[in-house]
Structure 1
Amino acid sequence: MTKRYIIIGDGIAGATAAENIRDRDEDAEIKVFTDEDTALYNRIMLKNYMKGTLPKQYTQMHDMNWYEKRDIDLHLETRVEEVDTMEKVVSAGDEDYSYDKLLVATGGAPRKLPQDENFENLHYMWTMNDATEIKESAEEAEEAVVVGGGLLGIDLAMAYASNDCETHYLIRGSNWWRRGLDEEGAEIIHQKMEEKGVNVVTETEVSSLEGGGEVEKVISQDGREFECDEVAVAIGQTPNSDIIDVEKNEVGMIKTDEYLETSAEGVFAAGNMVEYESPVFEKRAVNGSWDHSEAMGERAGANMVGEKAEFDFVNTYGVGHFDVQFLAIGDWNGEPVSKKYSEDEYRRLFFDGDRLVGAVMIGYTKGQKELKSMIKEKKEVNDKEELISQD
C-alpha cells in the first residue's frame, strides 16, 4: 500500500526530509507545502546576497525540476491553515489532504519591534523577498540603524556597511552575542565590525521611533538619537506552530522526543524553533543553525519511513564577514573557560561538570573536529586549562 507523506515547509529541513523519504521509499506519495513563491534557497548565502557580493541566482538550491525528477509534489504559495491529527488531514488552500506521516518544518517568523507602527523603511529578515528588500534599501541608504545583538543582527549590520552606508548597530547588552561570548571575546568581533564601517553601540535599547510613514530617527532609552534612512531589526523569532495541536513549550515551540516525533503519533517536527530531547547533551535543546536543521530533516525523513534512530547531531555555526574565522560548536549554556591568545585569537569552552559540551573559537580554530568529537562522545576533561591552552 502506497504511503502518503506530507511535509509543511520547504526550508532545508523540509526539503532534506522529502529527499530522504524518496531515497528510502520509491513508491511513496510525497507532498511539500510552502507559502513562499520559490523553491529551496540557501538562507546562509543570503547575507552575501544582501551585501552585494553574491548574485541572487547563486542562492538557489533547488528548482521545480529537482522536485519533479524525484516525484515530489511541491505546492508553492500554499499556506497550510490547519492540521487534524486525529483524522490525519492537512487543510491547505481550499483542499484537504490525508497523510500517513507528517513533518512540520515551518520554522519561525521574525519578532516585531514593540515600537513598530508599520513603518515603510523598517525591515525584518527571513525570506528571500526580505533579503531582496534589505539589499535594495542598503544600496540606496546613506545612514541606517540595525537592532539586535545576535547572529542575524551582525549579517544585517554588515549588509548596510558593505554598501557604504553609515551603520549604527544597537546591542541591548554589554557585547555582541552574549549567549556565547564574554566582553573580551566579543571585543575582537566589535573591532572587526568597526573596521568595516559599523558603529557598534552597546548597552542600548530602543525607546521610540520618530517619523511619519518612515522612521527618521531612532531614540534610545538613554536619550541618544540616531538619524537614519533605513532600520533593520533582528530580535528573535516566534514559532510558526499555531496550525497544529501538539505539545509545545512555554514559547510555542513544538516539542519532540529524541526521534523527532511529536506528542501526536506519526507527526514529526524538524528545523529551527523545535525543542527536542538531545541524547548528546542529555537535556532538551533548541538550535537554529543551517547544518543542524539539515541534519534534523535527514533524521526525521528516515524515521518517518520506519527507521528509529536518535537525533544525536552536534551543530556548528560560522560567521564569515571578517578576516578571522568565527566558529561556534555544540551547546553554549555550560560553565565557561576562556582564553585570549592574541588580538585576533580567542577561545571559549563550555562544560557540564567535567564534560565538554560547547566551544566558541575566533581566529584560532585548530582542533575543531577533535573538540566536536569530544562533545559527541561525551568525553570527560580532567584538566580544562590544559585543553584550552594553545599547545
Structure 2
Amino acid sequence: MRLIVIGNGMAGARLVSEVRARDKEIRVTVFGAETWQPYNRVLLSNVLAGSSGPDQVRLLDPSWYGEHGVEAVLGTPVVQIDRETRTVIAEDGRRVPYDVLVLATGSSAVVPPIPGVERAIPFRTLDDCQEILAASRTSSRAVVVGGGLLGIEAARGLAGRGLPVTLLHLAGHLMERQLDAEAGLVLGETLAGLGVEIRTGVSAAEVLPEGVRLADGTLVEGDLVVLACGVRPETELAAQAGLEVRRGVVVDDELRTDDPAVFAIGECAEHDGVVYGLVAPAWEQAAVVADVITGTAKDARYRGSRMVTRLKAKSVELAAMGETHLTEEHAEVVRFSHRARGTYRKLVIREGRLVGAILLGESAAVGTLTQLFDRGGPLPGDRAGLLFPGAGGAAVADSPVRMPDSAKVCQCNNVTKGQIRACWESGARDVTAVAAATRATTGCGTCRDAVEGIVGWLCEQEGVSA
C-alpha cells in the first residue's frame, strides 16, 4: 500500500507516527508546505514569550523519518489531487501515486481585508513567530488584533518581554466563544494587571506605520501589529479535487471523504457538522484513521470529541469546557466570582452531569472537573465541594495520592495516571522519559505539573530519586 499524507503539522505528523507504530511495511510519503520539521503549534506562545526555543517545540526528531522509512518532502506543497489516476502533483512538478490519501492541511490565518494590513504580521506559524520576535526587538509598542485564544497568548508573550501591548477585540468581551461576559471581564482585568491594555467592542479599519486606526477614527499607537483574527480551514485543494466541502472537508465516522480512498483529519476536517480547532481531537482522529487504513482495528470509528480549551499564558490560569453559555433557564448553574483575585468559576450542570465549566484563576479543581466532564458521569451532591476541593472533605483529584489510576492526566494524548505509573515501574524515572513513552505533556503542555507531581510522588514512595 502507498500512503500519502498532505500536511506535516500536528495532525499529519501524528498520523504518520501512528501508522508506522502499527505497520512497518506501508510506503509512506508526507508533504509539508513549511520547511520546518513538524512542531507543536500549541506551544508557539511559549516561543513568543521566550520560555521555549524552536527546537523545544519539535514533535519529531529530524532523524525520525529516515529511521522509520518515511519519505518527507518539506517546503513543497501539493498543488493538485488527480483522483482519477490517484496521483498528487507537487509544486515542484513531481507526481506521486497513492492508494490511500490523507488530507491534514490544517488552517490558515484569517487576514482582514483592510488597508495597510500587509504591514501586520499574522500569528500562526513558527515563521510568523520568528518574524514577530525579530520585529519586537526594534519596536516600542505592540498592537494585537483579536482577543481569542491566540491573540491573548500573543499579547501576554509580548508584554512578558517588556513591550507595552494593546489588545483589540471586536466582541464585547474576550474569548466570547468559550467564556461568558463576566469571565471575559475578569480575564481582561487579569491581563491588564500583567501589562496588556484591553480594548473590546472595537473594529480595526486600517493598519498604519504608526499603529491601527479604528472604525471610529481613533488611532491606537504601535509600531508592531500582530494579527490573531481567527483561522480558516484549508480546503481549497479538496474543493478543486471535487470532494465535498462545507466549512471543512466533510468526513464520516471513519474520517473518509466522499471518495473512499481519501481521508481528512484535523482542522481541515468537518465531522458531523463540527470543525475542531484543538489538538486533542486531531490526534484522536489520527488514531482512528491509522487503525482503519492499517487494518489494526477495522471497526474503529470517530464519534466526536469533548473539547477542553486551556489558555497557555504565563500567570494566567484558564480552562473552559463544553456548554459554558447556558443560563439558569436551561441548566443548573453554579458560579463564584472574586474579581479582585482574578478568580471566576462556573459549573453548568444538566441532568446531574457536568456539561460545561469555566475555571479562571489558580484552582485545584481543574483536574477533577475535567475528568467529570470528559467521562460524563453523575456529579456528587456537594456542588461547592467541586468548586473548592478539599474545603469540606472533598477529594482533590490533582493529588496523586487520591487520584484513581483511571484518571486522565493528559487530555491531549489520553494518558491516565495508571499508564504513568506503569511507565514509571518500567524504568521511566523523570518527566522526559514518561513523555517519550506515553506522549504525556507533548500536546498543550498544561499537564506537565501534574505529571511531575505523579512521578515525584512515585519516586518518594519507593525512596528513589527522580
Q: How does 1:25-64 map to 2 (within 5 A)?
A: 25-64=23-62
Match of 2:317 in 1: 325
> More displaced, 50-59 or 359-368?
359-368
The answer as to 2:280 corresponding to 1:288 is no
Contact 2:343–2:362 (Cα < 8 Å) also in 1: yes
Instruction: Indicate which of 192, 203, 207 corresponds to 1:209.
Output: 207
Q: Which amino acid aligns with 1:362?
A: L
The answer as to 2:293 corresponding to 1:298 is no
SS at match of 1:243: helix
Q: Which amino acid aligns with 2:93?
A: D
1:116-160 per-residue CA deviation (whole Å, 9 max, x = no partner) reads 4453x4100111111100111122211111111100111221232
Paired with 1:387 and 1:58, the residues of 2 have a C-alpha distance of 38
Instruction: Indicate which of 275, 297, 302 corresponds to 1:311.
Output: 302
Match of 1:274 in 2: 269
Contact 1:338–1:388 (Cα < 8 Å) also in 2: no
Q: Bigger relative contact order, structure 1 or 2, given CA contacts below 8 A and separation 6+?
A: 1
1:4-29 per-residue CA deviation (whole Å, 9 max, x = no partner) reads 11101111111111111112211110
Q: How does 1:244-255 map to 2 (within 5 A)?
A: 244=238, 245-249=242-246, 251=247, 253-255=248-250
SS at match of 1:207: strand
Paired with 1:63 and 1:353, the residues of 2 have a C-alpha distance of 47
Contact 1:148–1:235 (Cα < 8 Å) also in 2: yes
Q: How does 1:1-391 map to 2 (within 5 A)?
A: 3-92=1-90, 93-117=92-116, 119=118, 121-210=119-208, 215-244=209-238, 245-249=242-246, 251=247, 253-277=248-272, 284-306=273-295, 307=297, 308-312=299-303, 313-330=305-322, 332=324, 337=333, 339-342=335-338, 343-350=341-348, 356-363=354-361, 365-379=363-377, 390=388
Q: Which runs of 5+ in 2 are unaligned?
A: 390-466
TM-score by length of 2: 0.74
1:338-385 per-residue CA deviation (whole Å, 9 max, x = no partner) reads 512433332234567765433322135444454444444444679796
Q: Which amino acid aligns with 1:339?
A: R
SS at match of 1:288: coil
Higher helix share: 2
Moved beyond 6 Å, runs of 4+: 380-388
Q: Which runs of 5+ in 1 are unaligned?
A: 278-283
Paired with 2:82 and 2:157, the residues of 1 have a C-alpha distance of 42
Residue 248 of structure 1, CA deviation: 1.5
Q: Which amino acid aligns with 1:286?
A: V
Per the alignment, do residues 88 and 370 of structure 1 end up closer, same or farther by CA in structure 2, a change over 3 Å counting? farther
Contact 2:5–2:102 (Cα < 8 Å) also in 1: yes
SS at match of 2:290: helix
Paired with 1:50 and 1:189, the residues of 2 have a C-alpha distance of 20
Q: Which amino acid aligns with 2:106?
A: G
SS at match of 2:63: helix
Paired with 2:325 and 2:233, the residues of 1 have a C-alpha distance of 21
Paired with 1:39 and 1:196, the residues of 2 have a C-alpha distance of 33
Contact 1:314–1:372 (Cα < 8 Å) also in 2: no
1:313-349 per-residue CA deviation (whole Å, 9 max, x = no partner) reads 4343322324342112345565573512433332234
TM-score by length of 1: 0.87
Paired with 1:232 and 1:353, the residues of 2 have a C-alpha distance of 43
> More displaced, 129-138 or 182-191?
182-191
Per the alignment, do residues 50 and 382 of structure 1 end up closer, same or farther by CA in structure 2, a change over 3 Å counting? closer
Contact 2:179–2:325 (Cα < 8 Å) also in 1: no
Counting aligned pairs with the same residue, the percent is 26
Per the alignment, do residues 382 and 366 of structure 1 end up closer, same or farther by CA in structure 2, a change over 3 Å counting? closer
Contact 1:272–1:286 (Cα < 8 Å) also in 2: yes
Q: Which amino acid aligns with 1:288?
A: G
> How many residue pairs were aligned?
376
Per the alignment, do residues 303 and 202 of structure 1 end up closer, same or farther by CA in structure 2, a change over 3 Å counting? same
RMSD: 2.5
